[in-house]
Structure formats: C-alpha cells, structure tokens
Structure 1
Amino acid sequence: MAAVLVALGAGSASAHGAVSDPPSRHYGCYNRWPNGPSQQMATEDPMCYQAWQAEPAAMYNWNGLFREGVAGNHQAAIPDGQLCSGGLTFNGRYAAMDKPGAWVAPNRPSRFTLNLNDTSSHGADYIRVYATKQGFDPKTQPLKWSDLELVGQTGRIPTGTRTPVEINAPGRTGHHILYTVWQASHLDQSYYACSDVNFTDGGDPTITTTTTTTTTTTTGNPRRAARPPSE
C-alpha cells in the first residue's frame, strides 16, 4: 500500500483529466473498482482485473495519461499497438490499457455526446475523437491508427468538469473503441484515452460523418498561439 501511495502522490502533481463518459479504460477501472482488485472484479470485469494487477498506479493516476512536447505529431509519437497507453508514457504505467479483450463497453447510439473531465480547467487547443472502423475487433486486435476514423472534434475551447464533444459515428454496430486526443492549452501536453462503447443502432452508412468545430477566444497563456495541429 505504501508503494501505491507514493506512486499516487508522485503522479497527482502533474495530472489533470480524462474522458469520463463513456469512461476511458483507466478511469472506468478506478471508478468501478476504487478499492482495487477483488474476486468479484476478476469475474465481472477481467480486463480491469488484469490492469489493476499489472499497475495500480495507472488507476490511481487516472487523470495523468499524457505526453509532453508532441507538437501535434501524434502518429509519430504514439506507435501502433500503444495508442491506449499514450505510447507507453510514464515508463509503461498504462501498458495494460493496450491489451485487447472484453473491456466493459456501455451502450451508445451512433450520435451522442462524449464528456471530458478537465480537473484543472486547463482548456483545449482542440479535442479530437476517433472511432474504430466497422469490422475491427477490440477483443482480439491491438489498436492501430489505420483502424480509426474521425467522428468528432472541437477547436480551441475552455474545458471543465463536463466538456461535451458531439460524436457522429454512423454505420457501426457492436463493440468499438473511441480514441480521444485532447491537446491541452496551458502547455504542450497531449492527453490520450481509449473508451469502449457498444453501438446499438448501427446508424446509416450512407450518411457522411460530420463534425462540429467550436472556437472560443480565451485569455491567458499568450506564449502559446493556436496553430493548426498535424498528425
């Protein structure tokens, strides 16, 4: 327990937020099982059980899955197969999040509102949300950039305890991964999150996916001008 508390204290000072609804894998494991591994967890939520067994600090530091200095080059910084762990950031603390398996996946329609919880109100240069393509199997396949399609995004916005991003992911049914890239505004800090969902209505694959861009002028941090991000 002492080691866990040390890890928690070390990470909390530099931790800021995560996708809360539908919950990112590490946030969901902490939120559902705040007391750590149990036989009930092993039976009902085996992917969280393996994550807790691998590294409890990943859940206690649920708001700290980020990298610094990426400069918008997310695909260069995060290799295929390591998207959910932010490219094994913090010496692989979140590596268990990359494992394919039967992660808990709440039901969602093809159009819904994703929420991000920014516990420090750092704001966003942008938030982008991708969904896996139909045919991808999260239970057996590690996530690659080529598996993803953009299904929601914002421009520069202030964020808070519930920051909505409108998602439109037509033509999908069953278990999918939503991959969120949140570029914080206070520093060059990029947050990454894998959220599992079960699409229930299938959508209409003939509808073209649209996204909404919101631009809000904010004060502060004058040294970081908004710039078009690259991937």
Structure 2
Amino acid sequence: MHRKLGPAVVGLGLAALSVLGTGSAWSHGYTDAPISRQKLCANGTVTNCGDIQWEPQSVEGPKGFPTLGPSDGTLCAGGNSRFAQLDNPRGGTGWPTTKVTANQNYSFRWQFTASHATSDFKYYITKQGFDPSRPLTRSVLTLTPFLTVNYNGARPPATVTHQGTMPSRTGKHIILAVWSVADTGNAFYACSDVQF
C-alpha cells in the first residue's frame, strides 16, 4: 500500500535538507579560555541566560567582522536575538572575569561540538577606558585583531588552542573571539570578560 505525502510533510523535509545543506548545522563552538559568557551560562555560573545555557556552541551570525557581521550592541550574541542575554552588560559587573596580565603569553582555547572548514580565528579587545556597563560596540573595540590564526579551509580538532600575547591594558575588558567558517556566510562569536 502506497501513501501520498502531504504538502506539510514534504515542506518539513525540504526545510530539514536546507538546514543540513548549509553545513553550519554541524559546526558549532565556543571559547572556554578565557571563559566565554555562553560557557558561564552553560556551567550555571551565571543564571537567567535563556536558551544559551543549553546551546553555548550556537552563537552564530554573519561573518565579515568588523566591516560586516552583527550590528553594534549585538556582538556577543552574534546578532542572534535568541541569545540577547549575552549582550546584556549586567551593570558592568555581573559577568565573572578571568584574571590576566598585560603582555603575558596566553593559551586561547576553543571547544567544538563539530568541526567545520575554517577561514580563520581573530581576537579583538576593548579600548582602554571603555564603559563595561554598556553593550559592546565597534567604537569601543580595537578593530585590528591582536591575534589572527589563519586556517586556510582546514577543519579544527575538537579542541584547539592558539598561543598569543595579551594586549597591554589595565582594568576590566572584553575579548571578542570570532571563528569564521570558510564555506558558509557565517562566523561564531564569543565574548570573554577579563580583568587585567
């Protein structure tokens, strides 16, 4: 006995193929050194985080930062309104910080739930004197990355560490890490609060 599939079932099947066909459905990741806001939410260290507590690897948005990418004020959530809690500065003191030292050698680490062809990883930091009680914008970031790791289309392993030097800063700052995927129009974003 043969049954015809209804239009709704066919539509769902096509939608699933469309998501799988982008490639990004299988590629997700976040930084855990210095620990990112999304990982703090997933750990339960920070509460009232919304959906990101179950999906710390899913902060995906348009690539091309700083020229393109998420709009100002939505950088920590990758422009994804579903994860808007990551953009909330929580009064400038509500996000725990990782203690770092200016000019120290540091191991920046990403964790991946799945790998993807990668263009590069770039790390940006806020300027001295920025206001941590306001959402992150391009105007408060040094828009030249202090660390760039080119990947030339290779796929990273489940965990990858990048050696770099912390910039010269004092006080509280935000590091914005951007993982640009090579074969889609997207990148993954992670904000880490640090204290020099």
What is the TM-score with the length of structure 1 in the denominator?
0.64
Unmatched tracts of structure 2, length 5 or more: 1-24
Matches for 1:52-63 after TM superposition, within 5 Å: 55=50, 57-63=51-57
Residue of structure 1 aligned with 2:189, choices 178, 188, 192: 192
What is the Cα deviation at residue 186 of structure 1?
Answer: 4.8
Indicate the SS of the match to 1:94: helix
What is the Cα deviation at residue 50 of structure 1?
Answer: 3.4
Indicate the SS of the match to 2:119: strand
Indicate the SS of the match to 1:164: strand
Q: Could you tell me how far apart the structure 2 residues matched to 1:171 and 1:58 are?
A: 31
- Higher strand proportion (structure 1 or 2): 2
What is the Cα deviation at residue 159 of structure 1?
Answer: 1.5
After superposition, the CA RMSD in angstroms is 2.3
Give the corresponding residue for 1:24: 36
Q: Tell me the amino acid that sits aligned with residue 96 of structure 1.
A: Q
Unmatched tracts of structure 1, length 5 or more: 1-12, 34-44, 200-231
Q: Could you tell me how far apart the structure 1 residues matched to 2:88 and 2:101 are?
A: 25
Bigger RCO of structures 1 and 2 (CA < 8 A, at least 6 apart)? 2
Give the corresponding residue for 2:71: 79
Indicate the SS of the match to 1:84: coil
Give the corresponding residue for 1:105: 97
What is the Cα deviation at residue 80 of structure 1?
Answer: 1.1
Query: How many percent of aligned residue pairs carry the same amino acid?
Result: 31
Q: Tell me the amino acid that sits aligned with residue 156 of structure 2.
A: T
Asked if residue 49 in structure 1 is aligned to residue 47 in structure 2, the reply is yes
Indicate the SS of the match to 1:104: coil
Asked if residue 154 in structure 1 is aligned to residue 134 in structure 2, the reply is no
Q: 1:48-74: per-residue Cα shift (whole Å, max 9, x none)?
A: 2232xxx2x211011111025x4x255
- Pair 123,107 (structure 1): closer, same or farther in 2 beyond 3 Å: farther
Indicate the SS of the match to 1:154: strand
Kindly indicate whether the alpha-carbon contact (under 8 Å) linking 1:113 and 1:166 is maintained by their aligned counterparts in 2.
yes
Q: Could you tell me how far apart the structure 2 residues matched to 1:159 and 1:109 are?
A: 28
What is the TM-score with the length of structure 2 in the denominator?
0.75
Q: 1:116-165: per-residue Cα shift (whole Å, max 9, x none)?
A: 11221224210000011111132x12211121122111111531233122
